[in-house]
């Protein structure tokens, strides 16, 4: 088996943390009763359908996923709607291994008391799953929760893979990583003396254990489980990726057969265009005839640098439904829905997207809605950092490893006027290194990892403007950069038709030549030429300020613990102005 149970992983069970010991004890309750009991996906679905707040709609579940989960063809999509909180609660996360001793003691006491309440006041159910789709990289995970939380257990089965549905797991490669343990108690009530508020997510990434107390949202279970899987693989030397990745095969194209298979990955924050770049069927009609597209995933994967491969963790997509009207074809691939309006239409009860009920409406969809997919994909030929920085042209090629890593580690967005903040605050950037808010290990480890990725032949590009635009006279005025423009540039990179010239303002950064870019996007060079921007002095001042903010962010991060790395990254972020 790929990961190891505690009794096998630890030379002595006393070497596990108290957090994992508390979780192990819950999973291993044995008595003459029926609880806790292991359930199948079908049993979890049936339990969910009996809960009074769950809506069993008239929308048929994706037939392929229903059969895979052990449901019959009559299975219908269920909707689980929550209350005030309809998204993740970052403030609830407590990273156990970063706490001082006195706070660790307090945290352990709260977990013990919470488990005491959980086991005495609720009937408990257990799900066993496999995280990872390729036998080369799979971990076993167990989730225990209450019967009242059965919908979330079913969604968890659907988002990952039930252990019972993965016959090859026992024969898969074994890794020096513990099985993942996840304890969920959504109805937990915080004690008056809890220093962490009314909800609590305790993450012990060293011992592959997580507790989720007081939170209903499925995304907490998904990202919590995925965080531990990412971290386990990272401990094995892999590089974690919160992004989308796909392959485009040009071997069937008359003019581009020599390009062969091109693998490209995209990393970006919400609204940056990550899904649009990854999932587009034909890049707005710009892919040449005969090109064949395969998508691995649009949200998460793992890079095995040594073997030049990437692996997929999840067989489904957990997508926003804010663009899905009634009748949208994606509903045919739906598996489960949460926090969406439910409407009666011509006698049928159906989920309705468009964020009509609340923001962040979500659904689990079968990955097949993306077309041809794959569980394993080649090493990326290109990585794109997607940023909302109107001082960067819509596409920049980065040739230096240090600059490529520095820009990934300072992947950013900028604040908007809608946030009702002061002009000085408006100038401050928001950084999310490598677009991954779920990293629980030091940032410098990702920097070393992505250095290896780029040193092994992966090219780096920065896409900017998506949702932000390009400089048009001052920091608050931007010229729109259309999605069609961005997708056309993606195709140009995949097909290799662009030639590049140095950008005089940033060493190691290159811009497409006028002759090659205007051939595919007439007028591009004039529209997005940094050498001809209006109000150039202010433009240069803002550009320099943003790079200075990047440097300050790196210097304030844990990268300072690796001074040689920090020196290289900071030196690469130089503006020649």
Range 381-572 has CATH code 3.30.460.10: no
Q: How far apart are CA 252 and CA 470, in angstroms?
A: 36
> What integer pLDDT is reported at residue 448 of this predicted model?
98
Closest by Cα among 241, 246, 114, 252 to 187: 114
> What integer pLDDT is reported at residue 424 of this predicted model?
77
Residues 6+ apart with CB under 8 A from 243: 265, 266, 267, 268, 274, 278, 299, 300, 301, 435
Task: Please give the C-alpha separations between residue 149 and each of 74, 310, 433, 476, 546, in angstroms, as whole numbers.
Answer: 23, 33, 33, 46, 45
CB of 384 closer than 8 Å to CB of 465: no
Task: Please give the C-alpha separations between residue 167 and each of 130, 232, 504, in angstroms, as whole numbers.
Answer: 11, 22, 56
Q: How far apart are CA 535 and CA 479, in angstroms?
A: 14
φ/ψ (deg, to 5) at 527: -70, -30
For residue 389, the SS3 value is coil
Neighbouring CB atoms inside 10 A of 15's CB total 11
For residue 77, the SS3 value is strand
Task: Please give the C-alpha separations between residue 525 and each of 299, 336, 384, 450, 479, in angstroms, as whole numbers.
Answer: 32, 46, 20, 31, 14
Q: How far apart are CA 475 and CA 30, in angstroms?
A: 63
| Structure-token pair, residue 536 | 């150039």
pLDDT band at 465 (very low <50, low <70, confident <90, very high): confident
What is the residue extent of each domain of the chain? 6-53+90-237, 381-572
Closest by Cα among 351, 96, 67, 327 to 200: 96
Tell me the per-residue pLDDT of 515-535, one tens digit each, with 9 for 90 and over: 999 999 999 999 999 999 999
| Structure-token pair, residue 552 | 């300050």
> What integer pLDDT is reported at residue 209 of this predicted model?
98
| Structure-token pair, residue 183 | 């304890």
As a dihedral over the C-alpha atoms of residue 111, residue 112, residue 118, residue 123, rounded to 10 degrees, the angle is: 120
Q: Is the pTM for the entire model greater than 0.85? A: yes
**Res. 170: pLDDT tops 90:** no
**Res. 21: pLDDT tops 80:** yes
Helix (H) and strand (E) counts in the chain: 16, 31
> What integer pLDDT is reported at residue 577 of this predicted model?
86
Please state, for a pLDDT cut of 90, what percent of the chain lies above it: 92
Q: How far apart are CA 340 and CA 238, in angstroms?
A: 37
Q: 46's torsion region: left (phi>0), alpha (psi -120 to 50) or beta?
A: alpha
**Res. 419: pLDDT tops 80:** no
Query: What sign has the CA pseudo-torsion 549, 389, 443, 105?
Result: positive
Tell me the per-residue pLDDT of 348-365, one tens digit each, with 9 for 90 and over: 999 999 999 999 999 999
> What integer pLDDT is reported at residue 416 of this predicted model?
59
Find tokens 């259309």 and name the residue: 482
pLDDT band at 303 (very low <50, low <70, confident <90, very high): very high
Q: How far apart are CA 410 and CA 566, in angstroms?
A: 13
Arithmetic mean of pLDDT over the chain = 95
Closest by Cα among 18, 361, 362 to 158: 362
Find tokens 């808010």 and name the residue: 437
6-53+90-237 falls under which CATH superfamily? Phosphoenolpyruvate Carboxykinase, domain 1 (3.40.449.10)
| Structure-token pair, residue 112 | 């013990």
φ/ψ (deg, to 5) at 157: -60, -45
> What integer pLDDT is reported at residue 1 of this predicted model?
59
Find tokens 């408990």 and name the residue: 124
Closest by Cα among 176, 162, 238 to 206: 176
> What integer pLDDT is reported at residue 521 of this predicted model?
98
**Res. 428: pLDDT tops 90:** no
Tell me the per-residue pLDDT of 226-246, one tens digit each, with 9 for 90 and over: 999 999 999 999 999 999 999
Closest by Cα among 406, 398, 402, 401 to 502: 398
Question: What radius of gyration, in Å, describes the C-alpha atoms of the chain?
Answer: 24
């Amino acid at each position: 088996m790929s990961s190891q149970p505690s009794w096998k992983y630890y030379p002595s069970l006393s070497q596990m943390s108290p957090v994992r010991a508390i979780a192990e004890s819950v999973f291993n309750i044995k008595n003459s009763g029926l609880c806790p009991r292991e359930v199948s996906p079908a049993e979890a679905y049936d339990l969910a359908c009996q809960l009074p707040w769950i809506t069993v709609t008239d929308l048929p579940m994706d037939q392929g996923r229903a059969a895979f989960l052990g449901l019959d063809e009559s299975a219908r999509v269920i909707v689980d709607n929550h209350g005030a909180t309809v998204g993740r609660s970052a403030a609830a996360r407590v990273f156990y291994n970063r706490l001082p001793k006195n706070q660790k003691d307090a945290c352990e006491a709260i977990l013990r008391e919470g488990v005491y309440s959980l086991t005495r006041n609720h009937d408990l159910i257990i799900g066993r799953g496999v995280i990872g789709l390729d036998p080369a990289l799979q971990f076993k995970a167990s989730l225990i929760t209450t019967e009242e939380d059965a919908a979330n257990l079913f969604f968890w089965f659907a988002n990952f893979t039930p252990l019972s549905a993965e016959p090859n797991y026992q024969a898969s490669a074994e890794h020096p990583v513990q099985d993942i343990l996840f304890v969920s108690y959504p109805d937990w009530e915080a004690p008056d003396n809890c220093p962490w508020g009314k909800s609590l997510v305790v993450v012990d990434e060293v011992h592959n254990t997580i507790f989720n107390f007081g939170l209903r949202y499925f995304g907490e279970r998904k990202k919590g489980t995925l965080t531990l899987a990412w971290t386990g693989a990272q401990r094995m030397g892999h590089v974690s990726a919160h992004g989308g990745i796909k392959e485009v095969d040009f071997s069937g194209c008359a003019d581009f057969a020599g390009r062969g298979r091109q693998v490209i990955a995209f990393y970006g924050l919400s609204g940056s265009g990550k899904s649009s770049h990854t999932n587009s069927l034909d890049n707005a009609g710009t892919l040449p005839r005969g090109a064949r597209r395969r998508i691995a995933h649009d949200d998460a994967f793992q890079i095995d640098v040594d073997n030049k491969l990437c692996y997929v963790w999840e067989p489904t997509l957990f997508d926003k439904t804010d663009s899905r009207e009634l009748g949208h074809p994606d509903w045919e691939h739906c598996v489960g829905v949460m926090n969406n309006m439910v409407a009666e239409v011509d006698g049928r009860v159906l989920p309705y997207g468009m964020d009509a009920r609340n923001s962040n409406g979500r659904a689990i969809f079968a990955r097949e809605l993306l077309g041809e997919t794959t569980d394993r994909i080649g090493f990326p030929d290109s990585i794109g950092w997607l940023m909302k920085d109107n001082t960067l042209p819509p596409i920049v090629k980065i040739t230096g490893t240090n600059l490529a890593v520095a820009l990934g580690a300072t992947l950013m967005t900028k604040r908007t006027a809608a946030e009702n903040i002061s002009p000085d605050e408006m100038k401050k950037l928001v950084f999310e290194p490598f677009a991954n808010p779920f990293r629980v290990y030091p940032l410098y480890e990702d920097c070393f990892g992505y250095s290896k990725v780029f040193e092994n032949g992966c090219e780096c590009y920065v896409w900017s403007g998506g949702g932000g635009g390009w400089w048009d006279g001052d920091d608050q005025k931007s010229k729109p950069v259309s999605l069609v423009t961005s997708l056309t540039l993606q195709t140009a990179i995949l097909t290799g038709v662009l030639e590049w010239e140095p950008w005089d303002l940033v060493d190691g950064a290159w811009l497409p030549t006028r002759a090659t870019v205007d051939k595919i996007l007439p007028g591009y060079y004039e529209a997005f030429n940094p050498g001809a921007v209006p109000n150039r002095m202010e433009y240069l001042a803002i550009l320099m300020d943003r790079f200075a903010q990047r440097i300050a962010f790196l210097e304030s991060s844990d990268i300072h613990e690796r001074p040689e790395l920090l020196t290289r990254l900071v030196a690469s972020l130089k503006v020649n102005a």
